[in-house]
Chain A
């Protein structure tokens, strides 16, 4: 079995993040493996350990995005592919999903891909669009936002809880799977795993290696981007016995109730 896990290198959530004049995310300062992709890598590696599989970590991004797949290798992926190309810089989420799909197809041409795993969202865009766009571009079934995953034979069964309902869904491989942060507890690589990862292969591809997506491009453009003024702190009061009454009065005075 061959599993591809898609990961993204994103600015650290605690860092001072910003957009450039084209409305694109400023990257490369405090970037890390997207926290929610750790759950995807964990799911892929755990399935591989249980059922026997090769795990390929895949990322699309600038030069230093290779650090994201390196982290996946430390967590147990066997090899990695990094798609890097200046022409990708302006792609939007759907355009990027098409590049990922092209890379999955190229990997599948070498050895069939049975499962593509992603996280539920990236901490930068938070759109949650990639898993569904990827499945659509690959014309594969999708099981998304899984909080539990099991594989029996060729059937994957998930539990998902979205909106006002819990659902169990199932489909046969090959398929696209996205997992939430409820799905597992990502492992923390030890020294041995970190050293072993240095010897694992990382392949670099450009758009020229993915001929069918070379013209994918972006279907959206950012017209304007501006930093918002920080939320101003309001009134702080320390309870001396009447704060509850003051809270009620505040709500009534401001017509909030």
Chain B
């Protein structure tokens, strides 16, 4: 594959001081696109060992002066200061809600363009070309940024993170002059949800409960635990308060692209399938044989989840010893 020979800059997301898995995936992707250096910009204390393992030679650490990086203008102005210092051929980042806001702001500030929700990036004719699945999975496009420093946000789980033998990177402090608009947003409180399982957006396997679970997520959770999976839900299930809103998969919730999706009591309304159509394998369990999700299921089981799930869990335990 033809490659660039210029530096790439990756916004390396951290949680609790650790490099996130989606960020490691984007760093892996960046290494495959250029023979030049891959550097990272971090908005909290860098996990330098992990950054080294993913091939980062230089870490740009903007000085936030106490401002919160969860404010998108703060993040954007900090990353922008690193872009000006690093002079990369492109900026790559994770396509989360925060990443998409950051991408939009960088495109305005750099007078370039941004592609978000990319499912892949390649180099063609010396340019980065991003692929995207759009219109609820019905169309596939490839796009290119035609002006300035391209900004590309890549969906989690579309690239396999691969470590290399890398040395400890150099950390470079970056001074930032924040605008009044960035300073104006006050963060009054922040409550992190406890992470009991794999984060929904990053999980390779997701078990989703819908209306059919009738308020009881215990079997969904038990199956997820057996599979090391994340637990998701449809809008109905979160609106009913059966599970927290953060678990919602769909066009207004989390968009997932796992290797395996198991929908339990999920009918398959378009608002939900928009958020999971990128799943590689779809398994559905529903007592209604007319449920639209069966049209997209690789394996569909028409049955009562209270019979099917306990048996599946027991059999999985037996088969796997």
Stretch at the interface among B85-93, B113-121, B163-171: B113-121
Stretch at the interface among A80-88, A108-116, A203-211, A236-244: A236-244
Residues of B68-99 contacting chain A, CB below 8 A = 70-73, 76, 96-98
The reply to whether A133 and B316 form a contact with Cβ atoms under 8 Å apart is no
Q: Does A107 contact B (CB under 8 A)?
A: no
Stretch at the interface among A46-54, A56-64, A165-173, A186-194: A165-173
CB closest chain-A residue, reference B179: A139
Distance from A41 Cβ to chain B, minimum over Cβ atoms (Å): 16
Q: How far is the CA of A141 from the CA of B73 in the complex (A)?
A: 8
Q: How far is the CA of A136 from the CA of B110 in the complex (A)?
A: 11
The reply to whether B270 and A14 form a contact with Cβ atoms under 8 Å apart is yes
Q: How far is the CA of A126 from the CA of B277 in the complex (A)?
A: 14
The reply to whether B281 and A175 form a contact with Cβ atoms under 8 Å apart is no
Q: Does B222 contact A (CB under 8 A)?
A: no
Q: How far is the CA of A164 from the CA of B107 in the complex (A)?
A: 26
Q: Known interface pairs A136-B104, A165-B193, A228-B138. Does A171 touch B316 (Cβ–Cβ under 8 Å)?
A: no
Q: Does B100 contact A (CB under 8 A)?
A: yes
The reply to whether B97 and A163 form a contact with Cβ atoms under 8 Å apart is yes
Residues of B106-156 contacting chain A, CB below 8 A = 107-109, 111-117, 129, 133-148
Query: What is the interface of chain A mostly: helix, strand, loop, or mixed?
Result: mixed
Distance from A112 Cβ to chain B, minimum over Cβ atoms (Å): 16
Q: How far is the CA of A163 from the CA of B315 in the complex (A)?
A: 34
A-B contact count (CB 8 A): 282
Instruction: Give the size category of B's interface with A.
Output: 35 or more
Distance from A125 Cβ to chain B, minimum over Cβ atoms (Å): 7
Distance from B115 Cβ to chain A, minimum over Cβ atoms (Å): 6
Query: What is the interface of chain B mostly: helix, strand, loop, or mixed?
Result: mixed
CB closest chain-A residue, reference B260: A256
The reply to whether A161 and B246 form a contact with Cβ atoms under 8 Å apart is yes
| Residues of chain B lying within 8 A (CB to CB) of residue A237 | 299-302
Q: Does A140 contact B (CB under 8 A)?
A: yes
Distance from A20 Cβ to chain B, minimum over Cβ atoms (Å): 11
Residues of B1-44 contacting chain A, CB below 8 A = 15
Q: Which of B135, B184, B297, B312 has the most CB of A within 10 A?
A: B135
Q: Known interface pairs A93-B104, A243-B301. Does A251 touch B185 (Cβ–Cβ under 8 Å)?
A: no
The reply to whether A94 and B140 form a contact with Cβ atoms under 8 Å apart is no
The reply to whether B251 and A238 form a contact with Cβ atoms under 8 Å apart is no
The reply to whether B139 and A225 form a contact with Cβ atoms under 8 Å apart is yes
Distance from B185 Cβ to chain A, minimum over Cβ atoms (Å): 5
The reply to whether A243 and B97 form a contact with Cβ atoms under 8 Å apart is no
Residues of B178-200 contacting chain A, CB below 8 A = 179, 181-182, 184-193, 195, 199
Bitwise interface map of A from 95 to 136 toward B, beta carbon under 8 Å scored 1, else 0? 001100000000000000000000011011111111111011
Q: Does B175 contact A (CB under 8 A)?
A: no
The reply to whether A123 and B98 form a contact with Cβ atoms under 8 Å apart is no
Q: Does B274 contact A (CB under 8 A)?
A: yes
| Residues of chain B lying within 8 A (CB to CB) of residue A133 | 104-105, 107-108
Q: Known interface pairs A129-B114, A133-B105, A166-B190. Does A171 touch B185 (Cβ–Cβ under 8 Å)?
A: yes
Distance from A173 Cβ to chain B, minimum over Cβ atoms (Å): 10
CB closest chain-A residue, reference B287: A239
Which residue of B179, B186, B308 is within 8 Å of A169 (Cβ)? B186
Q: How far is the CA of A132 from the CA of B70 in the complex (A)?
A: 13
Q: Known interface pairs A234-B297, A237-B301, A244-B309. Does A13 touch B140 (Cβ–Cβ under 8 Å)?
A: no
Which residue of A19, A144, A241, A249 is within 8 Å of B101 (Cβ)? A144
Q: How far is the CA of A181 from the CA of B315 in the complex (A)?
A: 40
Which residue of A220, A226, A227, A257 is within 8 Å of B320 (Cβ)? A257
Q: Known interface pairs A219-B147, A235-B300, A243-B303. Does A163 touch B184 (Cβ–Cβ under 8 Å)?
A: no
Q: Which of A133, A170, A218 has the most CB of B within 10 A?
A: A133
| Residues of chain A lying within 8 A (CB to CB) of residue B136 | 13, 17
Distance from A92 Cβ to chain B, minimum over Cβ atoms (Å): 6
What are 23 A-B residue pairs whose CB atoms fall within 8 Å in the complex? Answer: A13-B136, A19-B141, A93-B104, A97-B104, A126-B117, A126-B134, A129-B104, A165-B70, A169-B188, A171-B184, A219-B114, A220-B143, A220-B144, A224-B142, A227-B139, A228-B140, A236-B294, A247-B283, A248-B319, A250-B283, A254-B281, A256-B205, A256-B281
Q: Other CB < 8 Å A-B pairs besides A19-B134, A248-B316, A249-B319, 15 of them? A: A13-B271, A17-B135, A19-B139, A94-B107, A127-B104, A132-B101, A133-B104, A139-B181, A140-B181, A147-B245, A162-B96, A163-B201, A220-B115, A247-B299, A248-B315
Top 4 A-B pairs ranked by shortest CB distance? Answer: A219-B113, A244-B311, A239-B303, A248-B315
